[in-house]
Amino acid sequence: VRAVSEMDNPPKVYGGRFGLGSKDPYPSHIVAVYENLAQDKPKNRFTIGIEDDVTNLSISPKEEIDATPEGITACKFWGFGSDGTVGANKSAIKIIGDHTDMYAQGYFAYDSKKSGGITISHLRFGKTPIKSHYEIDQADFVACHNQSYVYTYNVAKGLRKNGIFVLNTIWS
């Protein structure tokens, strides 16, 4: 920053933070940064990816953007540690990638508990290369393997229109 400030005609430099609390930014957050920069008086210090209620520096997206290329299937699986969901999904995405002509991507998020904690598996696959480096926010398929999660988490958030939701439950 010092080198820029010593230039004869320095460009405007704005700074922001992301990835706080292990929250990845989504494409809609990146669009929000550009919308901020297009304002007459953009925020110089800002935060994306979380609702910053301490410093109030958040830039929030105006709308969710689905940047998933056509033909990519996105699946999200809610499980709990040691229930087999993550292991099964790792096997499934490996089989898709190794034994079909599709590209495959798997990302697995865990909470801090070794067993019994929440897990979320994010799987993408399709005929074109996958360049999405963020958790799935728009899913074609969502499965929840712990019925109590429907009371605690918005497990169907981001389910696409005509998407499929499966709840593994003991309820009749």
Domains plus CATH for the chain?
A: 2-47 (no CATH), 72-167 (3.40.920.10)
∠22-164-126 over CA atoms, to 5°? Answer: 70
**Which 3 state secondary structure label does DSSP give 120?**
strand
Quickly list DSSP for 10-27.
PPP--EEE--GGG----H
DSSP annotation of 115: S
For the chain, list residues with pLDDT below 50: none
The residues, any chain, with a CB within 8 Å of residue 171's CB and separated by 6 or more, are: 147
Q: What's the pLDDT at 91? A: 98
Q: What's the pLDDT at 136? A: 94
CA–CA separation, 49 vs 110, rounded Å?
18
pTM given for the model: 0.82
Q: What's the pLDDT at 1? A: 67
Backbone angles phi, psi at 124, to 5 degrees: -130, 145
Instruction: Give me the amino acid identity at 166.
Output: V
